[in-house]
Amino acid sequence: MTDHQSFLSKIQTSGQKVTVRKKGTFIKQNQISDTIGYVKQGAFKLVFQNGKKEWIKSFLFEGSIIGSIPSILQKKPSTYSIIAIEPAEVFILKAKQLVSLFETEALYNSYMIQFLMNLYFKKEKRVSDFLLLDANNRYMEMIKEYKQNLARISQIDQAAYLGITNVALSRIKKNSFLNTPKSHSNITH
């Protein structure tokens, strides 16, 4: 069993199982959270909100760890909300349980280092995509990253993730479809 599998198994056996309804909030922006979760089933979006405007940081699906690490470790309000985009089942651990786990089980420390490195790489790519790519290329990157789960993400959420309007995303999708090379297998000579 890998460190990752062992850690997820420990969360399931030590944690509390909760259900989150579609559009339900796991963590609320501007509130301190002391909970980390393992997504057993369902999907979430990490959202920055300002009034009615939303910017989506990322999407998380089955097998993901969810929570606000700065909020948990620094006891600061979370800068984003974590909202279910479909009904979900999550195993949760309180911060005290998590800290105790790392203090008593050394193998989980290497897992956490790897987890935090992957999180950093993902964040670095997200920032560089936003700064260096146009909306069309960000859309192509989103397709690559979320290919298996794209159908589970509404078009409005996809647009918020890309930082564009729903109308602009419709145009990008239409142009991508129109520019897709057609199959020539039916042509006879």
Assign domain 3-104 to its CATH architecture: Sandwich (2.60)
User: Residue holding tokens 């199982």?
Assistant: 17
Q: Which two three-digit tokens encode residue 159?
A: 């647009």
Taking residues 135-153, what's their average pLDDT?
95
Q: Could you report the per-residue pLDDT of 61-81, keeping only the tens digit for each?
A: 999 999 998 888 889 999 999
pLDDT confidence of 155, banded at 50, 70, 90? very high
Is residue 141 within 8 A of residue 158, CB to CB? The reply is: no
For the stretch 4-39, what's the b/e string if a residue is b when 16 or more beta carbons lie within 10 angstroms of its beta carbon? Answer: eeebbebbeeebeeeebeeeeebbbbeeebbbbbbb
Is residue 150 within 8 A of residue 169, CB to CB? The reply is: no
With 60 as the cut, is the pLDDT of residue 186 above it?
Answer: no
* Residue 19 bridge partners (DSSP): 89
pTM for this one?
0.86
